[in-house]
Copies of this chain bind each other. A is one copy, B any other.
Amino acid sequence: MSEPLRIGVAGLGVVGTGTLTVLERHHELIADRCGRPAMVTAVSARDRRKERGVDLSAVRWFDDPTAMASDPEIDVVVELIGGEAGVAKDVVETALAHGKHVVTANKAMLAHAGTELAGRAEESGAVLACEAAVCGGIPAIKTVREGLAGNAVEAIYGILNGSSNYILTTMRETGREFGEVLADTQKLGYAEADPSLDVDGIDAAHKLAILTALAFNTRVDYEGIHVEGIREVSALDINYAEELGYRIKLLGIARRADGGIEQRVHPCMVPKSAPIANVEGVNNAVVAEGDFVGNILTEGAGAGAGPTASAVVADIMDIARGTNLPTFAVPASNLHPLASRGMHEHQGGYYLRLMCLDRPGVLTEITAALRDEAISVESMVQRGRGPSGEPVPIVITTHETREAGMMRALKAIEQLDAVLEAPRLIRIENP
């Protein structure tokens, strides 16, 4: 049996202590599978005295994680501090500068500086691995980078955020509105006190940026992603989706199209029969579309101590086994710049919900606005009639059309006297 792999863990939150637990409980199994032991020999966190339920008596403690990152007795630094920049990035840069391998779950940092950090790793002959950064326990990175290696990837998309999927699932199951369900979700601990990362699509966009680079061998381009969250999704829209045969899901999507790669995160209507429509609750799922293999879906827990630690340990074991690949599948210097296709060029179907005065001529005005942009209506629903003066919903789905034209039509519709609220728009995806 070869020399043990010496690991320093920076950050002892739930994922950090989870990682220590996995490495301790499966010490023997991991040594068997890697041909060498993987041992945590150092840790760093803010508060040394905090009770974490793991035995730290045999490991060295560092108050300063950056000092740990340059320690000559450590082979791999596991960065679980989090945050786009600051200490986390200092730790990673220091470790790589010292030729140490880095395993990280830090999607924000990689979304913003992934290409640069991958380049630094390769310059110093180190590994920068980040399976835990994308959808927790799901081996999404390994599946795209290795499982689909022989394919040109046409698209990669998925449910990349568990909190927002839990909220949408609960809204559908209970008929309740976003605000109420969000509050409950926070009580359950599935969403942070500041839920913005989750419900505004930012966390999903961080993950999408990483997946896009892997799938298309392009530089990480977080800035190029069109991002919308789920705050505007209402119980009414969820009901209409059901009725029309759809489920509403927050998807992150990267797709090769004429003129470049589209990257977008927004609520989507997906047909109920699509496998991704049946991914419910806190689960995440990633679908990679390869030109030879077709669609490969991987589903599982996208967050939590056990699943995320499982992914961290998988990366550590790849390092112990010596089977790592470049962070984004090919060397960073070979990553192509991403030719980004703007959202205005997007083509697809749309769901519109308008709240209108129930009076003659309204439908004519609305359909004329669509006709003026050559948008073809697939279905229209106007039903019932509220108490006098109350607005009634009119729901329209369209055939495939261009986003730019749809936005112009929407502007025209919004200005109609009979349209009383801002129109709601949800894009239809037929994956």
A residues apposed to B, CB below 8 Å: 18, 22-23, 26, 29-30, 32-33, 131, 137-139, 142-143, 146-152, 217, 275, 278-279, 290-301, 306-307, 309-311, 313-314, 316-318, 321, 323-325, 329-330, 334
Contact = CB atoms under 8 A, between A and B. Distances in A.
Nearest to A320: B149
A311 B316 CA distance: 25
B300 A300 contact: no
Contacts of A290: 137, 310
A148 B310 contact: yes
A330 B139 CA distance: 20
Q: Which of A33, A142, A143, A334 has the most CB of B within 10 A?
A: A33
A411 to B, nearest CB: 40
A253 to B, nearest CB: 18
22 contacts: A18-B292, A137-B293, A137-B294, A139-B296, A142-B143, A142-B147, A146-B318, A148-B314, A149-B317, A150-B310, A150-B316, A150-B317, A151-B310, A275-B279, A292-B310, A293-B300, A294-B300, A294-B306, A294-B307, A296-B299, A297-B297, A297-B298
Contacts of A313: 149-150, 292
Contacts of A139: 142-143, 146-148, 296
B310 A301 contact: no
Given A294-B306, A296-B137, A334 B32 contact: yes
Contacts of A23: 150
B150 A26 contact: yes
Given A32-B334, A325-B321, A146 B314 contact: yes
Given A26-B152, A142-B142, A150-B310, 20 more contacts: A22-B292, A30-B150, A33-B149, A33-B217, A33-B330, A137-B290, A137-B293, A139-B148, A147-B311, A148-B314, A149-B313, A150-B316, A275-B278, A292-B306, A293-B307, A294-B307, A296-B298, A296-B300, A298-B299, A299-B299
The number of times this chain is found in the oligomer is: 2
A309 B294 CA distance: 12
Given A275-B278, A314-B149, A293 B298 contact: no
Nearest to A312: B150
Q: Which of A151, A296, A300, A316 has the most CB of B within 10 A?
A: A300
Q: Which of A29, A137, A318 has the most CB of B within 10 A?
A: A137
A395 B131 CA distance: 47
Contacts of A29: 152
Contacts of A149: 30, 33, 313-314, 317-318
